[in-house]
Amino acid sequence: MDKTAIRHAATVILIRRDQPEPRILIGQRGKNAAFMPSKFVFPGGALDPADAGIALVNDLSDDCLRRLQAETDPTLAEPLLAAAVREVWEETGLRLARNGQAPENAPKDWQGFFDGGYVPSAHGFEFIFRAITPPGRTRRFDARFFLVDAENLVDDLDDFSAASDELSHLQWVDITKMREFDLPFITEVVLAEVQALLKKGGKVQTVPFFYHGVSSSEFKRL
């Protein structure tokens, strides 16, 4: 695999509203990680081939779906949503799910998700940001960022015992204190967008898109 090739990816900003200030779930990448070592990040990761075969509850609005399909292969929309759900589950042990019938032959990466009669769900997803990693980095991603309310999780919000070891120090952080952590630049940019959205009542009008090509960079809105 060409590690410098741009890979499609999904990142999830989980927001919890059971205290006076909203809280966001973040974790710390390992110090030996090839991409963003030791940084605190939102859960997320690259699209896997198996994600394309996952059926999930999906009630995105027409406008949200249109923006997600803009300037890319439109058939990637649902696999990206599945990747977002899977990455949250793998990295935090928490499931974005609804009650439903498990498939007979779940892909290896998804085995265990369906325990308890749950199926993956993109209910409540809002596509809010897109960014391509600049050239010259050890890894490059075309990352879509989704804002999701924690009420869509079916597991104990404070139980990370089923999480993989990709992120440590998983915790819900007061949104006003997020910048006390060592965040990547793009995470700070997305965080500012989240705060602006919350002030406007959470209504997405357009989606910022940081495009970094080989010879030029461009800021767009989808």
Distance separating alpha carbons of residues 29 and 18, to the nearest angstrom:
26
End-to-end CA distance of the chain: 30
pLDDT at 5 over 90: no
Distance separating alpha carbons of residues 50 and 208, to the nearest angstrom:
28
Helix H or strand E encompassing 21: none
Q: Supply the pTM of this predicted model.
A: 0.93
| 40-44, 77-81, 109-113: range with lowest mean pLDDT | 109-113
Distance separating alpha carbons of residues 136 and 126, to the nearest angstrom:
30
pLDDT at 125 over 90: yes
Pull the structure tokens for residue 135: 């050239």
Mean pLDDT of 1-14: 85
Tell me the pLDDT of the chain averaged across its residues.
Answer: 89
Residue 204's region, left for phi above 0, alpha for psi from -120 to 50, else beta, is: beta
Q: What pLDDT is recorded for position 172?
A: 98
Closest CA to 95 of 124, 120, 125, 122: 120
Look up residue 18 and give its DSSP letter: S
Mean pLDDT of 177-199: 92
pLDDT at 216 over 70: no
pLDDT at 2 over 70: no
Distance separating alpha carbons of residues 155 and 175, to the nearest angstrom:
22
Q: What pLDDT is recorded for position 215?
A: 65
Q: What pLDDT is recorded for position 153?
A: 97
Q: What pLDDT is recorded for position 24?
A: 97
pLDDT at 109 over 90: no
Select the highest-mean-pLDDT range: 59-63, 111-115, 168-172: 168-172
Contact 84, 77 (CB under 8 A): no
Q: What pLDDT is recorded for position 129?
A: 95
Q: What pLDDT is recorded for position 204?
A: 86
Per-residue pLDDT tens over the stretch 132-168: 988 877 788 899 999 999 999 999 999 999 999 889 9
Closest CA to 76 of 84, 57, 125, 59: 84
Distance separating alpha carbons of residues 1 and 73, to the nearest angstrom:
21
**How big is the chain, counted in residues?**
222
CATH architecture of the domain formed by 6-221: Alpha-Beta Complex (3.90)
Q: What pLDDT is recorded for position 61?
A: 86
Look up residue 74 and give its DSSP letter: G
Q: What pLDDT is recorded for position 135?
A: 82
CB atoms within 10 A of CB 32: 7
Q: What pLDDT is recorded for position 104?
A: 81
Contact 107, 54 (CB under 8 A): yes
Mean pLDDT of 45-68: 90
